[in-house]
Amino acid sequence: MYNSDLDCVEMANNELALAQIIRTLSDQNETCIPEQSGGFETISIGNLQNRLTVPINATSAIVMVEADKTASDLSRVIRFKENGSTPTIAIGFGLGDNDVYRIKGRTHLLNFRTIGIEADKTHRIQVQYFKNSNNIIAVQPNESDVTPLDITPQFS
């Protein structure tokens, strides 16, 4: 629920930005991963570090922040890093209520970390994952993405 016309204008601007990002992804041959394939998730963000649950074929994502409305400053409620290190309440890029952010590249998805800025507040991020519509993934697998093969020679 919005308390003023200004809030409604801000939300409309964020929805336009989100629509523009989705159009841009379509132009780049990326399509949404269906929800039943792990293509959408909601993550609660509090005082502990969070990571994304990245589908195996994901190449990018859109993240939208939904702030705890009791936060003292809705313009900056979480911090994130894409380099795999841990953000803190003072270090990392800040995002606020209804901010939309695009994560591009599998490595950035796997390294994305978030944390809430204000103690005892729980925010949410809504994450939509995208894949290359040609099903081509340029990925250097990490250990969690691959299953080791048993290549022990079999002699009869």
Distance CA 113, CA 109 (A): 9
> CA–CA distance from 154 to each of 78, 91, 147, 148, 150 (Å)?
54, 54, 20, 17, 11
When pLDDT is cut at 50, 70 and 90, the band that residue 29 belongs to is confident
Distance CA 61, CA 54 (A): 9
Structural domain that includes position 98? 5-132
Determine the average pLDDT of the residues in 8-37. Answer: 68
pLDDT at 20 over 90: no
* Residue 94, SS3 per DSSP: strand
Determine the average pLDDT of the residues in 104-129. Answer: 96
- Residue 155 domain flag: no
- Residue 113 domain flag: yes
Using one digit for the tens of pLDDT, what is the confidence trace for 118-154? 999 999 999 999 999 775 544 445 544 444 444 444 4
Record the pTM.
0.71
Q: What are the two backbone dihedrals, phi and then psi, of residue 18, each rounded to the nearest 5 degrees? A: -60, -45
Distance CA 133, CA 26 (A): 9
| All residues at 6 or more sequence positions from 110 whose CB lies less than 8 Å from its CB, including other chains | 52, 54, 84, 142
Using one digit for the tens of pLDDT, what is the confidence trace for 37-73? 999 999 999 999 999 999 999 999 999 999 999 999 9
- Residue 145 domain flag: no
**Any alpha helices (H) in 74-148, and if so which ranges?**
106-111
* Residue 14, SS3 per DSSP: helix
Burial environment of residue 41 by CB neighbours within 10 A (0 to 12, 13 to 18, 19 or more): middle
Q: What is the pLDDT of residue 152?
A: 43
Q: What is the pLDDT of residue 96?
A: 97
pLDDT at 22 over 90: no
Of residues 20 and 90, more confidence is placed in 90
CATH number of the domain encompassing residue 96: 2.60.120
Q: What is the pLDDT of residue 69?
A: 96
- Residue 20 domain flag: yes
Distance CA 30, CA 22 (A): 9
The count of domains in the chain is 1
- Residue 29 domain flag: yes
